[in-house]
Amino acid sequence: MEWSGLSVLLTGGTGSFGREFAKVLLAEHHPRRLIIFSRDELKQHEMQRELTDPRLRYFIGDVRDKERLHRAMQGVEVVVHAAALKQVPSCEYNPFEAVKTNILGAENIIDAAIDARVTRVMAISSDKAVNPINLYGATKLVAEKLFVQGNSYAGASGTRFGCVRYGNVVGSRGSVIPVFRQQKVTGRITITDERMTRFWITLQQGVRFVIKCVGLMRGGEVFVPKIPSMRITDLADVVAPDCERQNVGIRPGEKLHEVLVSRDESRYTLEFDDMYLIQPVHPWWATPTYSGAQPMVSGTKFGSDTNTRWLTHDELRQMVEE
């Protein structure tokens, strides 16, 4: 896909993903303009001081506000939807707010994009959406369903919707790495459960995967990168090797292991060398075909504990340093 000359809207644009996305897209893909859509004027001000590119536009707005989204999407060809309430404890304590942003906000994005005749809309999802046990994961699961079936609402308008689903991002807000670093000075770090595993991806890897999938999408897909796993104990060895470890127990709404493609989803998932593509179950629009893919083995899963690719200490150290 050729991004040159396109007008792009990024929701949640002042977050960790948004800042990296803006840097990569502007430097390597040369859009006509990139609209940063977010609620926080202070973060927008700070981002303006960091990124002075004249192609950037800053819109104050909330995905809960459909009228503002309609205004922001005028003349836009591509939307990347990264705005969400993401902290698991915060979503548990403020469930109505999580629903308003993560679910009703997704509905507003879909309606506004169809009305504005946006060509492609890609939503950012999470491994927490697979077999969710907390509210955050449940809202992301619903959002995924909305974006997949949004293609039915779009009909012949030409607007197409897809999702990217990946795991924990190294160094993003809420990452365990800053916590370990803060605790390191005390000589003791806290670990919820030493058996815990997680998928691991860098911000730049996530950004480049999203950009790639926007070019590949034809409507209704959930794209999943083949990314490595890490053990929480290995991360502790790298970040705080000489510290005492205190096991504090798994937190409410937390899993021992994460899944990016479930056993049930494997029945309609295609496998590529570098990713999985989950096809829509009810494609009430044209079903595309893909070259270079083979069906995922039915009844298998892509889980952080059953992954065939594990990060070594050296690889973890390099990712953490970067």
pLDDT digits (tens, 9 = 90+) for 42-71: 999 999 999 999 999 999 999 999 999 999
Q: What is the pLDDT of residue 142?
A: 98
Question: Nearest CA to 231 among 168, 283, 304, 141?
Answer: 304
Q: What is the pLDDT of residue 174?
A: 66
Per the residue annotation, which of 128, 140, 255, 301 is the catalytic one? 128
Is 140 an active-site residue? no
Residues 6+ apart with CB under 8 A from 145: none
Q: Cα(52)–Cα(306) distance, rounded to whole angstroms?
A: 44
Q: What is the pLDDT of residue 64?
A: 98
Q: Cα(227)–Cα(199) distance, rounded to whole angstroms?
A: 7
- Residues of the chain with confidence (pLDDT) below 50: none
Question: Nearest CA to 98 among 126, 58, 70, 121?
Answer: 126
Tally of CB atoms within 10 A around 28: 10
Phi, psi angle pair for 191, to nearest 5°: -125, 135
Superfamily of domain 7-231+256-321: NAD(P)-binding Rossmann-like Domain (3.40.50.720)
Q: What is the pLDDT of residue 156?
A: 80
Q: What is the pLDDT of residue 173?
A: 67
Q: Cα(100)–Cα(83) distance, rounded to whole angstroms?
A: 12
Structure tokens at 232: 């929480």
